Amino acid sequence: MSQATVHLPVPRIPRSRGARLQNNPVDGHKRVLLAAPRGYCAGVDRAVVAVEKALERYGAPVYVRKQIVHNIHVVTELEQKGAIFVEEVDEVPEGAHVVFSAHGVSPAVVNAASDRGLHAIDATCPLVTKVHREAVRFARDDYEILLIGHDGHEEVEGTAGEAPDHVTIVNSPEEADTVQVKDPSKVVWLSQTTLSVDETMETVNRLRTRFPELHNPPSDDICYATQNRQVAIKKVAKDADLVIVVGSSNSSNSVRLVEVALEYGAKAAYRVDYAEEVKQEWLDGVATVGVTSGASVPEVLVREVLEALSAAGYEDVEEVRTAEEDLMFSLPKELRQDISGQRDTRALGGRTGSAAS
């Protein structure tokens, strides 16, 4: 993979109001192509609401193991509401409530929380849980699992932890050329949910050259949201002089959007957490700016980027939509009963559509 993901602890860069962008002349009509789908996916919405709901129900503090999602703004806002983010469950006081992040946890973490008498609320995205189940099943059938993903990313740690004796992590297409297996007739590949689709296919092709009997996962492991955001930015990138991706530096899917934009024709592409980070020089000679955001990014941060661009003369905003999303997940089971014992049927993650769990 072209760029390693940065892991916690993430530096807390204080938010500063940068200078307003100048409206300098350029050749051509200034415009913004706004990719859609972008921003929150169903699993992120569910995880963030799970923390809010836990705070409402149990009162502050509620502990969260790792960042609930990889977005500094989301984490800061939840901290202000009373969430305490920890690296490991041994930092949580015995008997307290702890939320597991959207990226999932290994059975070892679940057991450590239970040994400590913690009340765990599992906000793992159901699409990550699906990959965990695949790992368990293939390990039980004695397959060797080549897990394509970023070593050290929480999701990869969680999935690998389901079957540590059967899993080998493949970090990049290059590693596919050197990874060793015991029995090439009994190998399957699985993947992290937030990778580049194209790069993962390259890794798989290189693996298959060496292991022709390589099994495929029963269904896509790269999730719908990751795929949809990449398809949308590909369409925008070919017409963009500059692409701005809103998302945090440790957000795998956001960082992938920068790479995909560059691969698909954007003349330049940058990632920002906040609008204030957009630099005047990025706009030099730029007529068309593409804008998108990762799956862990609240829309308010995109709106602030659009406002900053508007001040620089990019007032004409055209949405480029390549898919509709209506997937929703119900809340983690620990939160489905409300205090009065009523079942909370709130479904999360999209504007319309049917609930899944």
User: From the CB of 149, what's the least distance to ligand 0CJ, in Å?
Assistant: 9
Among the listed ranges 37-45, 201-209, 266-274, 340-348, the one in contact with ligand F3S (CB under 6 A) is: 37-45
* String of contacts with ligand F3S for each residue 79-118, x by CB under 6 A: -----------------------x----------------
User: Please, what's the b/e burial string for 150-169 (b: 16 or more CB within 10 A of its CB; e: otherwise)?
Assistant: beebbbbbbbbbbbeebbeb
- Smaller CB separation from ligand F3S, 130 or 186: 130
Burial level of 250, CB count in 10 A (0-12/13-18/19+)? buried
Catalytic residue among 155, 162, 175, 325: 155
Say whether 325 is catalytic: no
Structure token digits, residue 337? 């009963």
Residue showing the smallest CB distance to ligand F3S in the complex? 43
- Smaller CB separation from ligand 0CJ, 155 or 259: 155
Q: How many CB atoms lie within 10 A of CB 205?
A: 12
Residues 6+ apart with CB under 8 A from 313: 23, 24, 30
User: From the CB of 102, what's the least distance to ligand F3S, in Å?
Assistant: 5
Q: Can you tell me the distance from the alpha carbon of 219 to that of 127, in angstroms, rounded to the nearest whole number?
A: 11
- Smaller CB separation from ligand 0CJ, 203 or 251: 251
Q: Can you tell me the distance from the alpha carbon of 320 to that of 236, in angstroms, rounded to the nearest whole number?
A: 7
Element at 228 (helix H, strand E): helix 224-237
- Smaller CB separation from ligand 0CJ, 295 or 309: 295
Q: Which residues are catalytic?
A: 155
> Which residues of the chain form contacts with ligand F3S (CB under 6 A)?
41-44, 102, 125, 127-128, 193-194, 223, 225-226, 253, 295
